């Protein structure tokens, strides 16, 4: 039996790094379609929604089988619009009963349905306020720096170590992780009550390293990975 779970896929049209990034072609299919199709394969998701400010994007979403398109106003579709404003707007425009929201970003297309199902199962049986997917960083963030006044290296403010300590081998430091956009999961009632998405008790969902598409170079690399995987399977 399905849980009361919906997926929301945000797809605004105003990307500056890559024009129309959310519908750029990857293996002859719009980027947005990859996320829609993966969500539709999950037997744990009741309905799939796309939130967009573009009629063109809405048409593409419908073509690939999304259950409903939510037209988002321009004021919450800019570069500076928050995930909270988008999710909250969607909540106000969804008329079915549900309690769990799966947030799927089109710019991480190489997830699979097992990622989604595993995350939903783990989160549904927990008391966490939210879930965020991460993968281990290739270099610990303890060895990261800020550049002060465009001249001086400074360890990050929350890392109380000097340069000699930071020169130790990476194995001497704790592992650190970075959010990767594979999946976020929220509780509807928590959002409505607290006016935020994640809260203080966030479940870590650790995945294999994956690539988010933010730049043309990222897109080229993901296209390379898709072709490499095709050759491997042939």
> Is the separation of the CB atoms in 86 and 11 below 8 Å?
no
Tens-digit pLDDT profile for residues 123-168:
999 999 999 999 999 888 888 888 888 888 888 777 777 777 777 7
Helices 55-63, 31-41: crossing angle, 10 deg rounding:
40
Q: Please tell me the predicted confidence (pLDDT) of residue 159.
A: 76
- The pTM (predicted TM-score) of the whole model is 0.90
The contacts of residue 105 (CB under 8 Å, 6+ apart) are: 9, 10, 35, 181, 212
Tens-digit pLDDT profile for residues 165-191:
777 787 888 899 999 999 999 999 999
pLDDT higher at 99 or 2: 99
* CATH architecture for the domain at 5-137+176-233: Alpha-Beta Complex (3.90)
Helices of type H across the chain: 31-41, 55-63, 83-92, 113-124, 163-166, 188-194, 216-233
Please say if the pLDDT value at position 1 is more than 70.
no
* Domain range annotation of the chain: 5-137+176-233, 141-171
Distances (CA, A) of 96 to 40, 47, 81, 99, 109: 17, 9, 25, 10, 27
Please say if the pLDDT value at position 225 is more than 60.
yes
């Amino acid at each position: 039996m399905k849980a009361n779970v919906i997926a929301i896929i945000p797809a605004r049209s105003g990307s500056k790094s890559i024009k129309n990034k959310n519908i750029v072609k990857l293996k002859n299919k719009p980027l947005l379609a990859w996320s829609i199709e993966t969500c539709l394969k999950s037997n744990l998701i009741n309905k799939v929604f796309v939130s967009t400010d573009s009629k063109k994007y809405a048409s593409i979403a419908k073509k690939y089988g999304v259950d409903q398109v939510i037209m988002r106003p321009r004021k919450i579709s800019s570069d500076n619009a928050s995930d909270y404003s988008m999710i909250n707007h969607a909540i106000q425009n969804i008329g079915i009963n549900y309690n769990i929201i799966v947030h799927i970003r089109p710019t991480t297309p190489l997830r699979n349905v097992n990622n989604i199902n595993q995350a939903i199962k783990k989160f549904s049986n927990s008391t966490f306020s939210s879930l965020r997917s991460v993968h281990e960083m290739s270099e610990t963030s303890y060895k990261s720096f800020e550049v002060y006044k465009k001249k001086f290296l400074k360890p990050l403010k929350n890392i109380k170590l000097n340069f000699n300590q930071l020169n130790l081998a990476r194995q001497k430091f704790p592992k650190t992780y970075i959010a990767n956009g594979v999946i976020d999961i929220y509780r509807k009632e928590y959002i409505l009550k607290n006016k935020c998405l994640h809260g203080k008790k966030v479940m870590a969902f650790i995945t294999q390293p994956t690539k988010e598409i933010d730049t043309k170079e990222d897109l080229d690399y993901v296209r390379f990975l898709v072709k490499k995987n095709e050759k491997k399977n042939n």
